[in-house]
Chain A
């Protein structure tokens, strides 16, 4: 199984709503990522988890709250978002082998629209 599964595929939410994005992988990867991608732009790193601990937060607003409940799951909790937060949210994972780097596997993304 070399898949990263993201749910839902599409999400429309109001600015006062609370919602969550989910990401799951069963490749034994211990590094998991959230990226945000706007149209015609590259993926922009938001958060990195290493062995279920948050290791990188790229100064993301607190209305985005990540969670890694176990080594296979990654969530992104959303609250009080703004229309400019509308984007494709990508989850990725890869092995965390110290100094040795490996390729990242990406999910298909959640297309989020904030109205």
Chain B
């Protein structure tokens, strides 16, 4: 069956360090992979989208990589700040159809 797995444990890091979050998938061939941030009681907010033929994408302090051979995406937040504390969700998208499916999410806590 199809599975999308993210770090099951919360990630606790010190302010200023780089946070690295992992998204692994099995039995899936996504054409696109997206990352969202979700704060408690609120809807997810889009951060980055990467296509299967792209290795890396950057936006300000954010970087995402996509390795279709390893079936893995890594999401990096550099110079992390306490305001970056949230749940981060990866979502997979195929070429056809509009099905956008989310992984379980990783809780990130940045301590000052």
A positions within 8 Å CB-CB of B? 4, 31, 33, 41-45, 48, 50, 55-56, 88, 90, 92, 94, 96, 99, 101-109, 111
Query: How many residue pairs between the two chains, A and B, have CB atoms under 8 Å in the bound complex?
Result: 63
Residues on the B chain within 8 Å of A90, using CB: 43-44
Total chain B interface residues with beta-carbon distance under 8 A: 25
Q: Do B98 and A43 have beta carbons less than 8 Å apart?
A: no
B positions within 8 Å CB-CB of A? 31-32, 34, 41-46, 49, 51, 89, 91, 93, 95-105
Residues on the A chain within 8 Å of B102, using CB: 42-45
Q: Do A102 and B49 have beta carbons less than 8 Å apart?
A: yes
Q: How far is the CB of B34 from chain A (nearest CB, A)?
A: 6
Instruction: State in angstroms the CA–CA spacing of A48 and B93 once bound together.
Output: 13
Closest residue of A by beta carbon distance from B47: A103
Q: Do B43 and A103 have beta carbons less than 8 Å apart?
A: no
